[in-house]
Amino acid sequence: MSVVKPRVMQGVMELLPRQQIAFQGVFDTIRRGFERFGYAPIETPAVELTSVLLTKTGGETEKQVYFVQSTGARDQGKDPDLALRFDLTVPLARYVAKNEANLTFPFRRYQMQRSYRGERPQRGRYREFYQCDIDVIGKESLDPRYDAEVPAVMIGIFEELEIGDFTVQLNNRKVLLGLLESVGIDDEARPRVLREVDKIDKRGREYLAETLAGDDFVLPSATIDKVLAFLAIDGSAREVVDALSQQGIDNETFNEGRTQLEAVIGSLEALQVNPSRYRVNVAIARGLDYYTGTVYETFLDDHKDLGSICSGGRYENLASNYTKSKLPGVGMSIGLTRLFYLLQELDLVDSTASAADVLVTQQDPELYAEYLALATELRAAGLRTESVVEPWKFKKQMKYANATGVPFVVIVGASEHDANQVTLKDMVGGDQVTVARSELIPEIERRRVAAQNRDDA
């Protein structure tokens, strides 16, 4: 019988145990951040009916969809058209429309699940990936002040993750659309100009000016100059929103967007969010016409070339394809798999943690029941504890402790047992101490606190 080579398809992340522990730590931090603001968890199936998932035919999205076929159902000629979800937004829309009568609005949900896209694997891009989304969905209307809560949640999470300096850049698409309307750009051209404006931070002002003057747009130089002058507005979030009111632009769409943006900044200030963590970037539009108001992009300050690590925005009607009810909302999404890849690449995550806090070694097979009892006592105190089950030589037990990265090793031989003592070896500090058994747990906790203080210093 031939041996099959153990491989996985390209574009999936498969981690070693200690890396997986680090990944789970990031995952749990994000989850706690969502729950701290009162968001409720939901899950939706990985497989959806294509009639629900692909509400619009054609386009790039459909080219990346994984279609699903069950061999058993196929043989019976009863196989429905199924596909793997490519994001969490479309399933959310279906979920809200289906359960509308049983939900309380505004509906605040978080969702942390895998999605699937058949795109070409590349740096930090995966075919199977975790998304971590939060959304607030209203019925008929949703106050723009919710647009401040969503980035406040994300900023708290990224601060807890200690990923270095980052900035949530935000804007309101209505501000840009109103500007373009006020300088005479027609309805047909505005969305296309908006997509070009959105690229100015990557391509530069000169490129934008040349593009808008080129054959695809043929805008007058005076119009281009007005647009570029507007895009030069900069400063703190408060300074930018104050500057917008001084532009002398008499346009209903612009003024509506400016008012909403002022409400968002005012709420961020009231939430006492660190003002260095967010700024208004009047060039951000996010290329998707799906967004109708506030938009967000989040960047690592020292690694902007890596692109946005968290994005989203306001949409006017989440579930228009599934219900006649108007369900406006606002949300942001973290691509966790990509983020973790980037954090590993930048050495910003600790992949040295162990699955256990303590390893109880086995010195005397006659005391095996005592070792298990001690491990149970440690677990009851909240310490993740592993026991050596086999009567290995002590050198092998220590080699195992080093390989797994466990920070504390407990040693109890016949002499310690007779004296009701234990020896605690600190694998990080390198020293060991013998204490009364009743002092073992306090000693471990004291050393854990000291290590944490050293790390925080």
Does residue 278 belong to any structural domain of this protein? yes
pLDDT at 226: 93
Cα distances (Å, whole numbers) of residue 373 to 88, 259, 370, 413: 46, 65, 5, 15
Same domain, 271 and 137: yes
- Average the pLDDT over each of 21-35, 265-279, 293-307, 361-375 and give the range with the smallest value: 293-307
Number of domains within the chain = 2
The domain boundary residue, chosen from 315, 345, 375: 345
Does residue 72 belong to any structural domain of this protein? no
The rounded distance, in Å, linking the Cα atoms of 281 and 130 is: 28
The rounded distance, in Å, linking the Cα atoms of 128 and 25 is: 19
Check residue 320 and report its DSSP letter. Answer: T
Q: Give the residue, 147 or 54, on which the prediction is more confident.
A: 147
Of how many residues is the chain composed? 457
Is it the case that residue 77 has pLDDT exceeding 60? no
pLDDT at 9: 86
Check residue 139 and report its DSSP letter. Answer: B
pLDDT-based confidence at residue 451 (cuts at 50, 70, 90): confident
pLDDT-based confidence at residue 54 (cuts at 50, 70, 90): confident
Task: Give buried/exposed letters for 384-394 (b at 16+ CB in 10 A, else e).
Answer: ebbbbeeeeee
Residue/partner pairs of 187-191 with CB below 8 Å, 24 or more apart = 189/217, 191/289
pLDDT at 324: 93
Percent of the chain residues topping a pLDDT of 70: 96
The rounded distance, in Å, linking the Cα atoms of 210 and 441 is: 69
Same domain, 341 and 362: no
Does residue 140 belong to any structural domain of this protein? yes
pLDDT at 122: 76
Percent of the chain residues topping a pLDDT of 90: 75
- The mean per-residue pLDDT over the stretch 341-359 comes to 92
Each residue's pLDDT tens digit, 218-230 = 889 999 999 999 9
Same domain, 332 and 445: no
- Average the pLDDT over each of 37-41, 188-192, 263-267, 292-296 and give the range with the smallest value: 188-192
Its sign, for the CA torsion 345, 350, 352, 354, is: negative
Each residue's pLDDT tens digit, 364-421 = 999 999 999 999 999 999 999 999 999 999 999 999 999 999 999 999 999 999 999 9
pLDDT-based confidence at residue 79 (cuts at 50, 70, 90): low
pLDDT-based confidence at residue 247 (cuts at 50, 70, 90): very high
Same domain, 121 and 177: yes
Does residue 65 belong to any structural domain of this protein? no
pLDDT at 165: 95
Task: Give buried/exposed letters for 219-240 (b at 16+ CB in 10 A, else e).
Answer: beeebbebbbebbebeeebbeb
pLDDT at 287: 67
- The mean per-residue pLDDT over the stretch 441-450 comes to 94
Residue/partner pairs of 116-120 with CB below 8 Å, 24 or more apart = 116/46, 116/66, 116/84, 116/85, 116/86, 117/64, 117/65, 117/66, 117/86, 118/63, 118/64, 118/65, 118/66, 119/11, 119/64
pLDDT at 61: 64
Does residue 325 belong to any structural domain of this protein? yes
Check residue 66 and report its DSSP letter. Answer: P
Mean pLDDT of the chain: 92
Same domain, 417 and 448: yes
The domain boundary residue, chosen from 279, 311, 345: 345
Q: Rounding to the nearest 10 degrees, give the CA dihedral for residues 381, 386, 388, 393.
A: -100
pLDDT at 78: 62
The rounded distance, in Å, linking the Cα atoms of 275 and 170 is: 13
Domain span at residue 377? 358-456
Is it the case that residue 19 has pLDDT exceeding 80? yes
Q: How many helices and strands in the chain, by DSSP H and E? A: 18, 16
- The mean per-residue pLDDT over the stretch 258-267 comes to 96
Same domain, 245 and 386: no
- Average the pLDDT over each of 14-23, 74-83, 164-173, 421-430 and give the range with the smallest value: 74-83
Does residue 69 belong to any structural domain of this protein? no
DSSP lists the bridge partners of residue 295 as: 171, 313
pLDDT at 457: 65
Tell the residue number behind the tokens 């793997």, with chain if given: 84
Does residue 76 belong to any structural domain of this protein? no
Is it the case that residue 20 has pLDDT exceeding 90? yes
Same domain, 254 and 295: yes
Q: Rounding to the nearest 10 degrees, give the CA dihedral for residues 257, 312, 26, 136.
A: 70
**Structure-block tokens of residue 255:** 């003024």
Task: With CA atoms as reference, report the closest residue to 151 among 309, 42, 285, 306.
Answer: 309
Is it the case that residue 69 has pLDDT exceeding 90? no
pLDDT at 288: 63
pLDDT at 2: 84
Does residue 126 belong to any structural domain of this protein? yes
Residue 95 sits in a domain whose CATH number is: 3.30.930.10
pLDDT at 59: 55
pLDDT at 397: 97
Report CA Rg, the chain. 28
Check residue 121 and report its DSSP letter. Answer: P
Check residue 131 and report its DSSP letter. Answer: E
Which residues are CB-neighbours of 69 under 8 A, at least 6 positions away? 79, 82
Same domain, 267 and 415: no
The domain boundary residue, chosen from 294, 319, 345: 345
- The mean per-residue pLDDT over the stretch 84-98 comes to 95
Each residue's pLDDT tens digit, 387-398 = 999 999 999 999
Same domain, 399 and 312: no
Is it the case that residue 57 has pLDDT exceeding 60? no
Q: Give the residue, 240 or 286, on which the prediction is more confident.
A: 240
Residue 365 sits in a domain whose CATH number is: 3.40.50.800
Each residue's pLDDT tens digit, 127-159 = 999 999 999 999 999 999 999 999 999 999 999
Same domain, 377 and 320: no
Check residue 346 and report its DSSP letter. Answer: T
Is it the case that residue 70 has pLDDT exceeding 70? yes
